[in-house]
Structure 1
Amino acid sequence: MKMTFRWFGEGNDPVPLEYIRHIPGTDGIVWALHDIPAGEVWPIEKIQAVKAQADAAGLHTDVVESVNVHEDIKLGLPARDQYIANYKETIKNLATIGVKVICYNFMPVFDWLRTDLFKELEDGSTALFYESSRIDNIDPFVLVEQINADRSMTMPGWEPERLQHLAKLFEAYREVTPEKLWDNLKYFLDEIVPVAAEHGMAMAIHPDDPPWPIFGLPRIINTQESLRRLVSLHDHPANGITLCSGSLGANPANDIVAMIHEFKDRIHFAHIRNVRVYDNGDFIETSHRTQDGTVDIAGIMKAYYDIGFTGYARPDHGRHIWGEKCRPGYGLYDRGLGIMHLWGLWDAYHYADTKKGE
C-alpha cells in the first residue's frame, strides 16, 4: 500500500508540503489543477510546476484527483467529443511527469454534498455532516447560495462555472435517465481508457457521495452491483475504481470488505474513512477508528492486507481538531492521526502473520 495525502496547492491549502512529509509512511500528494475549468486542457507548464514543488518536498505526484468530466460528456451532447479530446490531451500532459492514477467521478451537477461543514461531535471536534431531511426539503439553488456564502477557498466538485448555470443544467438533465447516464459513461470510457492505458495510467472512478440520487438527478455508482457493471463497461485493467469507504459506507447495506475482495484487481486508489450513520439516514464523519462510526475500518484494512494491496491510499476526510483552521474535512491533524491508525492496523496484521510460523 502506498499512502498519500490530498493537497490543494499553494495559496489554496493551509497545509505546507513539508508538514505532509512529516507523517510517517506518507510518500506522495494527491493533487489537481483546481483553477482549470472542467473540460479545458491542463497546461504542461502548470503540471510541471506542481511536480517541482512536490519533488522539493520529497513527495511524488502519482495520483491526480480529479480531472473533472465536463457536463456535456455526462449529458451526451454533441460538444462532448471536443471535451473528450481535451481530456485525452490532459492525460498525455500528465504522462510527462509520470502520473499513474486519475481519479474522476460521473456525478451530475454536484460532487460530494453535505448540509453542515462544521457539525460538532460529542468531544467538541467538528466534522462534515449530512442531514437527510434538509436535502429532501430544500431547493438546491438555496443550498448553493448558503454554501457559497460561507467559504473563502475553492471546494472540489463545486466549480463556479457549473454552479453559475445551475438552472440550465437541471433542465438539461430532466431527460437523462440512469440508463442514459450509463450509456454516456461507456462512451467516455471507450474513448479515454485506451489512451490512459497507452500512457501507463489507470482511470479510477469515485463513487457517488452520498451514494443515492439527490434533487432528482440520476446517480449510478453507489453499490457493489454498480461497480460490477462499471468494470464490465470497458473490460480493461485501466478501467478501475477509487474505492471510498466513507461514500459507500453512508449506505449500511454496502459490504465494503466484499467489494475489496471482488474488485481487488481494479482498485487503483483507496479512500479510507469512517462515518456514523443514523437510523433516519443522517450521517456524520468521525475519526478513523471503527468504534467511532458505522464503517468497519479494521475489517477494511484487513481485507486490503489480505489481498496484498499495492495501490495508492489516502485517509480521505478528517475532523477539525485542536483549533485548526482548515478546509472543511481537510485539516492536517486528524488526517495525520488517521494515517497512523491505518498503518497501525496494517502493521498489526503483518506482525500477526510473521508469528504464525513460529
Structure 2
Amino acid sequence: MEMTLRWYGTGYDSVTLEQIRQIPGVRGVITTLYDTLPGEIWTPERIAAMKDEVEASGLRVSGIESVNVHDAIKAGTAQRDEMIDHYIQTLENLGKADIHMVCYNFMPVFDWTRTELARKRPDGSTVLAYTQKAVDELNPEKMFASIGADTNGFILPGWEPERMDRIKELFELYRSVDEQQLFENLRIFLEAIMPVCDRYDINMAIHPDDPAWSVFGLPRIIINERNLQRMMKMVDNPHNGVTFCSGSYGTNLENDLPHMIRSLKGRIHFAHVRNLKFNTPDDFEESAHLSSDGSFDMYEIMKALFDIGFDGPIRPDHGRMIWGEKAMPGYGLYDRALGAAYLNGLWEAIVKSEGRVCD
C-alpha cells in the first residue's frame, strides 16, 4: 500500500506540501482542482501545473479526490449526456498525465452530513459528530447555517456556498429520484466512462454515502456490501471499483468492515481508514485513529486490507483538531499525521508477522 494524505491545493489548504513531505512514510498526496465546478473540464494545462507543484515537493499525485459528478448525471436530466462527455474529457486528460485513480461519489445534494463540526471531547480536542435527533429536528435548507460558524473560515467540500445557495432547487431536482432510479443513473454513467478508463487504466473508486442511510429522505445507495456487489455486477469491469472508507461504512453498525473488505478483493482501488466512537447507535463522533479511542478494531481493518493484497493508495481520514490548530474541520495536519504514523505502524507489524519484509 502507499500512504498518502489528502491535500486541497495551495490557497485552499492550511497544510503545505512541505509539511506533508515530513510525515514519515507518506509518499504522495490525493488532491484535486478545488476551484473547479462539477461538469467543468479539467484542462491539460491545469492538471500539469498541479502535478508539477506536487512533484517539486518530492511527493507524487497518487490519485484525485474528487472529480465531482454533476447533478445532471446523478438526477438524469436533459443535460446528462453533455456532462458525461465533459467527465470523459477530464478523465482522458488525467490519463494522459499518468494519473490513474479517481475517487468520486454519487450522493444527492449533500456529499456528507454532520450535525457538529467541533464537538469537544474530554481531552479538549474537537471533532466532527452526528446525531440523528438533530437531523430529525432540522430543516435541510438550514443545514449549512447550523454548522457554518465552525468551518474556521474554510470552504467545506460538498458544502460550497454556490451549492448551498441552490439547496431548495437541488431538493426539487431529486424529488422524483428514488434508489432504483439513482442506481440506473449510476449505471448509465459508469457504462459511458469505462471505455476511457480501459484506455488509460484509470481506476474509478466510488466513495460510500456518509452516513450510510437516507438523510432528509434522499436516496442513498453506496451503503453496504449488498449494494456494492450490485454496483459492480451491473458494470462488471475491474476499473469500476470502490473507495473503502471505514468511517463512512462504519456509520452503520450492521456493516462488518473486515468482512466487507475481504468480499471486495480486487475492486478496492483506494482506502480511507479512520475510527468512530459511538455514544449510542444514533450518535457518533470521529475519534483518534487508535483502536482504543473509538469503536473499530483498526488492526483487523488493516489486516483485512493486507489479506486481500491491497496495494493502492491509502490515507488517514478525518482527524481531530488538536494542539490549538485552526484548519478545515477534519483536515488539519497534526492528528492526520499521527494517524498516518499509526496506520503505517500497524501495517509494518502485520507484514512482519507474516514473515514478509516492509518496503
TM-aligned CA deviation for residue 121 of structure 1: 0.9
Cα deviation digits, residues 223-280 of structure 1 (max 9, x gap): 1111111111210000000000000111111011011111120000000000012324
Contact in 2 for aligned 1:197/1:238 (Cα 8 Å) = yes
CA positional deviation for 1:326:
1.1
Partner of 2:104: 104
Per-residue CA deviations over 1:93-129 (Å, capped at 9, x if unaligned) read 1123211110000000100111111111111111111
**Length-normalised TM-score, structure 1:** 0.97
For residues 255 and 18 of structure 1, the distance between their equivalents in structure 2, rounded to whole angstroms, comes to 37
Partners of 2:73 and 2:354 in 1: CA distance: 47
Tell me the amino acid that sits aligned with residue 163 of structure 1: M
Q: Secondary structure at the match of 1:169?
A: helix
Amino acid at match of 1:236: N
Cα shift at 1:175: 1.0
What is aligned with 1:318?
A: 319
Equivalent pairs counted in the alignment come to 355
Output aligned runs, 1:150-229, within 5 Å: 150-151=150-151, 152-229=153-230
Letter in 2 for 1:214: V
Kindly provide the amino acid, as one letter, of the partner of residue 276 in structure 1: K
Instruction: Name the structure 2 match of 1:64.
Output: 64
Deviations 1:108-153 (A, max 9, x none): 0100111111111111111111121111110011112233455322
**Equivalent position SS for 2:309:** coil
- Give the counterpart letter for 1:17 in structure 2: L
Q: How far apart are the structure 2 equivalents of 1:100 and 1:225?
A: 27
Q: Which residue of 1 aligns with 2:250?
A: 249
Equivalent pair of 1:193/1:202 in contact (CA under 8 Å): no
- Equivalent residue of 1:37, what SS? coil
Q: What is the match of residue 130 of structure 1?
A: 130
Which is worse superposed, 276-285 or 23-32?
Answer: 276-285
**2:261–2:304 Cα contact (<8 Å) kept:** yes
Give the residue type in structure 2 aligned to 1:45: E
In 2, Cα distance between equivalents of 1:353 and 1:62: 27
User: Which residue of the partner structure matches residue 335 of structure 2?
Assistant: 334
Once the 2 structures are TM-superposed, how far is the Cα of residue 199 of structure 1 from its aligned partner? 1.0
Q: Is the 8 A contact 2:4 2:62 kept in 1?
A: no
SS state of the match for residue 189, structure 1? Answer: helix
Given that residues 154 and 327 in structure 2 are in contact (C-alpha distance below 8 angstroms), is that contact kept between their aligned partners in structure 1?
A: no
Equivalent residues of 1:62, 1:98 under 8 A apart: no
Report the equivalent of 1:274. 275
Q: Using the TM superposition, name which of 45-54 and 238-247 deviates more.
A: 45-54
Query: Structure 2: how far apart are the matches of 1:218 and 1:199?
Result: 32
**Aligned-partner residue type, residue 123 of structure 2:** D
> In 1, distance between residues paired with 2:14 and 2:173?
37
Secondary structure (helix, strand or coil) at the match of 1:85 reads helix
What is the match of residue 77 of structure 1? 77
**Unpaired runs of at least 5, structure 1:** none
Task: Check the 8 A contact 2:320/2:332 in 1, yes or no.
Answer: yes
Instruction: Name the counterpart of 2:43.
Output: 43
Q: What amino acid is the match of 2:183? A: W
The CA distance in 2 between the partners of 1:300 and 1:189, in whole Å, is 28
Identity %: 49
What residue number does 1:93 align with? 93
Please give the per-residue CA displacement for 1:181-231, whole angstroms capped at 9, x wherever unaligned.
Answer: 100000000001221121111100000001111011111110111111111
The one-letter amino acid of 2:227's match is S
SS at match of 1:318: coil
For residues 14 and 170 of structure 2, the distance between their equivalents in structure 1, rounded to whole angstroms, comes to 33
- Counterpart CA distance in 1 for 2:27 and 2:225 is 30
Between the aligned partners of 2:308 and 2:141, the Cα distance in structure 1 is 44
Provide the secondary structure at the position in 1 that maps to 2:119: strand
Task: Say if 1:279 and 1:150 are closer, same or farther in 2 by CA, change over 3 A.
Answer: closer
Give the drift of 1:289. 1.2
The equivalent residue for 1:286 is 287
